[in-house]
Amino acid sequence: TVDGVDVPAATRDTLAGNGVIHAVGAVLMPTVVEAVKSVATLSTLASAIATAGLAETLSGAGPYTVLAPTDDAFTDQSVLDTLGVTTVAELLTRADLAGILQQHVVPGLLPSGDIVNGAEFPTLQGETVKATVAGAETKLGDATVTATDSIAGNGRVHTINKVLLPPSLADVAATLGLTVLADLLAAADLAALLSYHITGRVYTVFAPTDAAFNAYFTDAGTTLEGVKGDQEALAAILLYHMVEGVVTAGDTVTGPAATMTGTTVALVQTETQDLVVNGATSSSPNNRAGNGVIHVIDEVLVPPTKNVAGTAVDRGFSSLVRGLEAAELRGLFEMGGTEKFT
**pLDDT for residue 196 is more than 70:** yes
pLDDT in tens, 278-334: 888 898 998 988 888 999 999 999 887 655 655 555 455 667 667 766 766 555 555
Which pLDDT belongs to residue 9?
Answer: 52
Distances 8 to 4, 16, 25, 28, 278 between C-alpha atoms, Å:
12, 18, 8, 15, 59
278 Cβ neighbours under 8 A, 6+ residues apart: 265, 266, 299, 301
Which of 14-18, 155-159, 302-306 is predicted with the least confidence, judged by mean pLDDT? 14-18
Element holding 334 (H helix, E strand): none
β-strands 143-152, 137-140 pairing: antiparallel
Contact (Cβ atoms closer than 8 angstroms) between residue 207 and residue 296: yes
**pLDDT for residue 16 is more than 80:** no
Angle at 138 between CA 136 and CA 144, to 5 degrees: 115
Mean pLDDT of the chain: 83
**pLDDT for residue 32 is more than 70:** yes
β-strands 242-244, 292-297 pairing: unpaired
DSSP string, 192-244: GGGSSTTTT--EEEEEE-HHHHHHHHHHTT--HHHHHT-HHHHHHHHHTTEEE
- Across the range 103-125, mean pLDDT stands at 92
- The CA distance from 128 to 290, in Å, is 12
Return the higher-pLDDT residue of 3 and 8. 8
Torsion over CA: 216, 222, 228, 232 (sign): negative
Amino acid at 285: P
Which pLDDT belongs to residue 338?
Answer: 46
- The CA distance from 69 to 41, in Å, is 9
Q: How many CA atoms lie within 13 A of 332 on its CB side?
A: 11
Find how far residue 135's CA is from the centre of its chain: 36
- Across the range 4-10, mean pLDDT stands at 51
Q: Taking the model in full, what pTM does it have?
A: 0.71
Give 11's pLDDT tier (boundaries 50, 70, 90).
low
- The CA distance from 69 to 15, in Å, is 43
Which pLDDT belongs to residue 12?
Answer: 57
**pLDDT for residue 162 is more than 90:** yes
- The CA distance from 4 to 65, in Å, is 21
Which pLDDT belongs to residue 272?
Answer: 74
pLDDT in tens, 119-140: 999 999 888 899 999 988 999 9
- Across the range 70-74, mean pLDDT stands at 94
Give 158's pLDDT tier (boundaries 50, 70, 90).
very high
- Across the range 142-150, mean pLDDT stands at 91
- Across the range 219-233, mean pLDDT stands at 87
Give 19's pLDDT tier (boundaries 50, 70, 90).
confident
pLDDT in tens, 248-272: 887 766 788 889 988 888 888 877 7
Strand partners, 151: 156
